[in-house]
Structure 1
Amino acid sequence: MARRGKHRRPRTSPLTRGMVAVGTSGAALALPLVSATGAHAATQTTQVAQVAQAAVPQVSLVTYKVVAGDTLSKIAKDHATAGSWQDLYKANRAVIGNDPTLIHPGLTLTVGTKTTKTSAKSATAVSATATKSASASTATPASAKTYTNNLDGWIKQSLDIMAKSGIPGSYDGIHRNVMRESSGNPLAINNWDSNAAAGIPSKGLLQVIDPTFTAYHVPGTAMDPYDPVANITAACNYAAAKYGSIDNVNGAY
């Protein structure tokens, strides 16, 4: 893409009325509230439930600090996730500047991402139940879906929004293009190409310019091209209109 869009914090789907959210190191656990109604509602009892540990994938940026004697070719060769030296330069041009041969010791470059799994510690959740008369009723809440605040969670949340809006695309197609366009950095910005010269630099995970972001913005996402979910969703909407799907994009678009 002639770059377009990006950032901010990934968000959690609105919790359904009648749910209690419990924070657990990057994941939110939604627990139902069971209420008692009726004129003869009696004593309430408390039950304590253990929430099982869950494996939560965490995607983080991999960086490298330049030392004396380094070149982009050497760094790209030493770090398998960096791609070619041209890819490395493209992802870090805002840091390096206009001459890829001039990299100075001390510069911190983004060379890729890594995925780790952390365990969400067992949380103790309390749900209230009530003894009630025959006329009392119990509310059954709908389940609430949450997303991790990282690239994995942003893509999954975007895919859910895209599915509701009929926008095609797959996890792999989005992830492949995100890594090419921004190396997974939601604050990436292109300050050197023709769009930048025209005052509309490409922004965000999928490098969207402001006019494209506005034209293909999907309702329900933030009106901020740096917002990760809004950026991905708008870019996929644009790619669907121009190429049929983000899965069909394998280069600048």
Structure 2
Amino acid sequence: MSKTNIRGRRLTKKHKMSFAAVATVGAAAVAATLVPGGAGNTGTAEAAVAPVALTQVLDAQTKAAQGSLAAQQAVAAQRAQDAAAAAKAKAAAAAKKAREAEAASRAAARKPVFANNLDGWIKEALFIMKKEGIPGTYAGIHKNVMRESSGNPLAINNWDINAKNGVPSKGLLQVIYPTFKAYHVPGTKFDQYDPVANIVAACNYAADRYGTIDNVNSAY
């Protein structure tokens, strides 16, 4: 038997079945090695991939939420800063306005002292007229005073038509009582003979009828 060539021997059925089993096992091993997604590895692969993908999604969502929150906080902070600046500016403007009003009030309260003569009466009348918005100049008042009364605050006209009607012209600018009453300026004495009250009332009337006492050059 040792002399016989094995290639010349015939394979029995048992031999063929043994060789087929070995081949099948080898092929299966190779297939399992080459195909990672095979039936034997499916659960493990999916279990490894799923946590990684979920973590990445959660990280992305967290970063997006943090970014949105940061943006909202920045907007809120800017709005608060703008509101504070606006409130500060408003408070400063109100304080400035209050200071100006107080200064104007003090200036108005400090009434100048005027001489008790024709020059002083005209200047005091002009001071009041300026506050009341009544037009007129020193020259315009002075020329009419000199024509009407020669500067005498107690002058009275007892001979013209007004006197005959019972309302004689009186004072520096010879104003009749109805005119004085209608054009009297509050803050001055209600007295036709008071030089300042007389001038202011007469200039108020002249402004209404002629535009200004400066336009009056004769009896008015």
Give the TM-score, by structure 2 length: 0.50
Distance in 1, matches of 2:209 and 2:111, equals: 34
Aligned twin of 1:187: 154
Relative contact order (alpha carbons < 8 A, sep ≥ 6): 1 or 2 greater?
A: 1
- The alignment status of 1:246 with 2:213, answered yes or no, reads yes
After superposition, residues 2-21 of structure 1 pair within 5 angstroms as: none
TM-align CA RMSD: 1.0
Higher-strand-fraction structure: 1
Distance in 2 between the 1:251 and 1:186 partners? 19
2:185 is the counterpart of 1:212: no
Which residue does the alignment assign to 2:196? 229
State the distance in 2 between where 1:235 and 1:186 align.
13
Q: Does 1:201 align with 2:174?
A: no
Query: How far apart, CA to CA, are the structure 2 residues paired with 1:232 and 1:222?
Result: 11
Q: How does 1:70-109 map to 2 (within 5 A)?
A: none
Poorly superposed stretches of 4+, deviation over 6 Å: none
2:130 matched to which residue of 1? 163
C-alpha spacing 1:144/1:168, structure 2 compared with 1 (3 Å)? closer
For residue 188 of structure 2, give the secondary structure of its aligned residue in structure 1: coil
Give the Å deviation of 1:144: 4.4
- The match for 1:176 among 143, 153, 158 is 143
Task: Give, in angstroms, the shift of residue 201 of structure 1.
Answer: 0.1
CA distance in 2, matches of 1:210, 1:251: 19
**For the residues of structure 1 that align with 2:184 and 2:111, how far apart are their CA atoms?**
24
Deviations 1:146-195 (A, max 9, x none): 00000000000000100000000000000000000000000000000000
Amino acid at match of 1:150: N
The aligned length equals 113
- Residues 196-244 of structure 1 show CA distances to partners (whole Å, capped at 9, x for unaligned) of 0000000000000000000000010000000000000000000000000
Larger Rg: 2
Aligned equivalents of 2:139, 2:169: Cα separation in 1: 22
Give me the whole-angstrom Cα distance separating, in 2, the residues matched to 1:245 and 1:175.
13
Higher helix share: 2
Q: Quick one: which amino acid aligns to residue 112 of structure 2? A: K
Identity percentage of aligned residues: 74
Sort the Cα spacing of 1:146 and 1:211 in 2 relative to 1 into closer, same or farther, 3 A: same
Partner Cα separation in structure 1 for residue 135 and residue 176 of structure 2? 21
Q: TM-score, normalised by structure 1?
A: 0.44
| Aligned CA distance change for structure 1 residues 171 and 193 (closer, same or farther; 3 Å) | same
TM-superposed deviation, 1:145: 1.1
